[in-house]
């Protein structure tokens, strides 16, 4: 199956986008539409029914594009990914390189996060090591691992993240993490995200302390179909103290702003709010930018 997918990925992007355009209509009906609408109504309480429906329509259009783009990522050339994902202020990465230090790269499920990770190695001449959760299906996991390993990257399993990251300390690498995923129920930090009590991985607080490295947020936006721009926003600077929540706070604020500006490009099919906070669990109270 994955051999067929790789062959399929060799089709020109214009043909893949044509297929994506055909897929958006049935997917709006059969793939998680109820969850998408539920999430949007929970977050955008003041939006009208027409506004919600427009975001849903625009979301599925972009979602289908991202699906075929991720498939294309298995064979896309370094030159092509560099052309399609532009970093508008790469000097932040180059400054870290001059100091021979790693940099923590926080991202969200906005636009095409996989292309952004690949482009960091192609555009910034610095390999991007993305922390990831291995898939249960070994063949699928190997397929994704191989894709993410292109252009010098080395994906890091979340179960081995602490050990691997300490090993990389002092080396110039980009440690990437898509930090808005829903974590397992145990050992989480609770904070307000988009106006909703939301659980976050504790590693988002632990990593800056362990690495004592600068942290940036990748604000990715769509320039046009198949082309993206990434602005790097500083969200943390060492030294960090233990249980320093500033990076998490800044990450949440920047992610909220990005979603507010471009709600159609967020991954609303993700069941992000499947857990609720128990009464005895502490919530971190810092200002949210969501209105």
Tens digit of pLDDT for each residue in 153-162?
Answer: 788 887 777 7
Comparing C-alpha atoms, which of 142, 151, 197, 143 is closest to residue 176?
151
What per-residue confidence (pLDDT) applies to 168?
A: 67
Contacts of 220 (CB under 8 A, 6+ apart): 107, 110, 111, 112, 113, 116, 228, 229, 230, 258
pTM beyond 0.75: the answer is yes
Count of Cβ atoms closer than 10 Å to residue 225 Cβ: 13
Identify the segments of the chain with pLDDT beneath 50.
Answer: none
How many degrees, rounded to 5, is the angle at CA 144 between CA 141 and CA 150? 135
Q: How far apart are CA 18 and CA 150, in angstroms?
A: 26
Structure tokens that stand for 134 in this block: 């291995």
Structure tokens that stand for 253 in this block: 């604020």
Q: How far apart are CA 161 and CA 132, in angstroms?
A: 9
What per-residue confidence (pLDDT) applies to 50?
A: 97
Contact 239, 212 (CB under 8 A): yes
How many degrees, rounded to 5, is the angle at CA 278 between CA 273 and CA 280? 145
């Amino acid at each position: 199956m994955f051999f067929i997918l790789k062959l399929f990925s060799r089709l020109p992007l214009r043909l893949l986008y044509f297929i994506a355009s055909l897929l958006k209509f049935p997917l709006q009906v059969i793939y998680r539409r109820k969850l998408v609408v539920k999430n949007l109504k929970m977050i955008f309480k003041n939006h009208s029914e027409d506004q919600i429906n427009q975001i849903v329509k625009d979301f599925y259009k972009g979602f289908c594009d991202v699906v075929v783009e991720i498939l294309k990522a298995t064979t896309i050339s370094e030159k092509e990914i560099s052309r399609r994902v532009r970093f508008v202020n790469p000097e932040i990465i180059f400054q870290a390189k001059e100091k021979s230090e790693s940099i923590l790269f926080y991202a969200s499920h906005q636009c095409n996060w996989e292309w952004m990770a690949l482009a960091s190695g192609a555009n910034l001449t610095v390999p991007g090591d993305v922390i990831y959760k291995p898939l249960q299906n070994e063949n699928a996991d190997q397929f994704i691992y191989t894709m993410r390993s292109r252009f010098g990257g080395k994906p890091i399993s979340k179960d081995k993240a602490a050990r691997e990251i300490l090993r990389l300390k002092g080396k110039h690498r980009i440690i990437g993490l898509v930090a808005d995923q829903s974590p397992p129920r145990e050992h989480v930090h609770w904070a307000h995200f988009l106006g909703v009590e939301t659980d976050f991985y504790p590693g988002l607080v632990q990593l800056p302390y362990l690495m004592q490295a600068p942290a940036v947020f990748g604000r990715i936006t769509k320039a046009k179909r198949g082309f993206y721009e990434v602005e790097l926003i500083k969200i943390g600077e060492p030294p960090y103290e233990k249980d320093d929540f500033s990076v998490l706070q800044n990450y949440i604020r920047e992610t909220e702003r990005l979603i507010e500006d471009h709600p159609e490009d967020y991954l609303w099919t993700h069941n992000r709010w499947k857990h609720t906070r128990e009464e005895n669990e502490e919530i971190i109270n810092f200002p949210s930018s969501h209105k």
